[in-house]
Amino acid sequence: MNKGFSLFKVFGIPLLGAVFLSATLFAAEEPAPGVKGMSDEEFTPAKEVLEVKYVQMDKPYHMDVESLKGSFNGAKPVNITLQKQDKAFPNGGGSVTGAEVKAVHDGITVYFHITWKDPTRNARTIAVQEFRDAVALMFPLGAVEITPAEHFSPRMGDREKPTNLWHWKADWEADLLVKGELEDVEVQYPNMHDDFNFNPYSAYYHRELITSVEVLSGGRAANNLLSQPGRGRTVEDLNAEGFGTLTTQDHQDVNGCSHYEDGVWTVIMYRSLITQDPHDVQLIPGGNTFFNMAIWNGGEQDRNGQKNISTQWHPATLEKVAWQ
Which H, E and C letters describe the chain, residue by residue? CHHHHHHHHHHHHHHHHHHHHHHHHHHHHCCCCCCCCCCHHHHCCCCCCEEEEECCCCCCCCCCHHHHHHHHCCCCCEEEECEEECCCCCCECCCCCEEEEEEEECCCEEEEEEEEECCCCCCCCCCCCCCCCEEEEEEECCCCCCCCCCCCCCCCCECCECEEEEEEEHHHHHHCCCHHHCCCHHHHCCCCCCHHHHCCCCHHHHHHHHHCHHHHCHHHHCCCHHHCCCCCCCEEEEEECCCCCCEECCCCCCEEEEEEECCEEEEEEEEECCCCCCCCCCCCCCCEEEEEEEEECHHHCCECCECEECCCCEEEEECCCCCC
pTM of the prediction? 0.81
What is the predicted pLDDT for the residue at 20? Answer: 46
Please report whether residue 286 resides in a domain: yes
Please report whether residue 172 resides in a domain: yes
Please report whether residue 195 resides in a domain: no
How far is residue 295's CA from residue 240's CA, in Å, rounded to a whole number?
Answer: 17
How far is residue 289's CA from residue 51's CA, in Å, rounded to a whole number?
Answer: 11
Q: Which pairs count as long-range contacts for 24-31, CB under 8 Å and 24+ apart, including other chains?
A: none
| pLDDT less than 70: residues of the chain | 1-38, 179-180, 193-218, 220-221, 226, 229-230, 324
What is the predicted pLDDT for the residue at 147? Answer: 85
How far is residue 285's CA from residue 283's CA, in Å, rounded to a whole number?
Answer: 7
Please report whether residue 129 resides in a domain: yes
Please report whether residue 169 resides in a domain: yes
Residue type, 210: I
Note down the domain range covering 58.
Answer: 40-182+229-318
What is the predicted pLDDT for the residue at 23? Answer: 43
What is the predicted pLDDT for the residue at 163? Answer: 97
List Cα–Cα distances, 276 to 102, 104, 252, 265, 298, in angstroms.
25, 21, 11, 31, 34
- The CATH number of whichever domain residue 152 belongs to comes to 2.60.40.1190
Q: Which pairs count as long-range contacts for 125-132, CB under 8 Å and 24+ apart, including other chains?
A: 125/171, 125/298, 126/183, 126/184, 126/185, 126/187, 126/188, 127/188, 130/298, 131/296, 131/298, 131/299, 131/301, 131/302, 131/303, 132/169, 132/170, 132/171, 132/296, 132/298, 132/303
**Dihedral sign, CA of 112, 118, 123, 124?**
negative
Q: What is the CA radius of gyration of the chain?
A: 25
How far is residue 206's CA from residue 157's CA, in Å, rounded to a whole number?
Answer: 47
How far is residue 275's CA from residue 281's CA, in Å, rounded to a whole number?
Answer: 8
- Nearest Cα neighbor of 129 from 264, 260, 303, 263 is 303
What is the predicted pLDDT for the residue at 115? Answer: 98
Name the domain count of the chain: 1
Chain centre distance of CA 152: 18
Please report whether residue 125 resides in a domain: yes
What is the predicted pLDDT for the residue at 175? Answer: 87
Please report whether residue 279 resides in a domain: yes
